[in-house]
Amino acid sequence: MEKGVMLPEGIWKSFACKEQDIRSFSPLTLAYIGDCVYELIVRTVVVERGNRQPQKLHRESAGFSRAGTQCRIYEALLSEMTEEEADILRRGKNAHFHTKARNATPGEYRKATALEALIGYLYLTGRMERALELLKVGFCKCEMNL
C-alpha cells in the first residue's frame, strides 16, 4: 500500500500555513478541531459498513457524538492515558466554557470536551494512530459496536 500524506501536514503545505506551537493552543481550540476529527472517524466507519440513505447514516452515527457517550469513553480511557495525554484531558476538562450543553450535564459536557481536546491534540501532532487506538479501546470498553 502506498504511503499517503499526513492530513494536517498536507493541509499546512497546501495552504501555506505558518508553523504553530500546538502545545500553546487553548483546550477549547483543540476540542474544536477534535470534535471534527472524532466525527470524521465515526462517520467513516459508519459509511464503510454500507451505502444507505443519509438519514439512516446520521441516525447510526449520532449516538456516538453525544456528550453522554463521549463522557463514557473519556471515563473508560482514563487508565489508558500517558502522562502527556492525561494533561491534555485535564486542561480540556478544566477549560472555561462559554456555552451550555443542551442534552448533557455540565460534568458530561466537560468530559466530552476533554476527549475532543485530546483527539484534536493527537491529530495536530500527527499521532492519529494513537487517537484511533484510544477510541477503539474506548468503544470496546463501553460495549459500543463501532
> What are the residue ranges spanned by the domains of the chain?
25-141
> What's the CATH number of domain 25-141, 1.10.1520.10, 3.20.20.70, 1.10.10.60, 3.40.50.150?
1.10.1520.10
**CA 108 to chain CA centroid, nearest Å:** 15
Looking at residue 4, its pLDDT comes to: 52
Looking at residue 1, its pLDDT comes to: 39
How does pLDDT run across 17-58, given as a tens digit for each residue?
A: 888 888 899 999 999 999 999 999 999 999 999 999 999 999
Looking at residue 2, its pLDDT comes to: 47
Answer whether residue 5 shows pLDDT above 80: no
Please name the amino acid found at residue 18. Answer: K
Confidence of residue 110 (pLDDT cuts 50, 70, 90): very high
**Rounded distance between C-alpha atoms, residue 121 and residue 36, angstroms:** 12
Mean pLDDT of the 134-140 span = 96
Q: Are 86 and 3 in contact (CB under 8 A)?
A: no
Report which DSSP code applies to 65. Answer: G
**Rounded distance between C-alpha atoms, residue 144 and residue 129, angstroms:** 20
**Could you give the residue numbers annotated as active site?**
35
**Rounded distance between C-alpha atoms, residue 142 and residue 107, angstroms:** 18
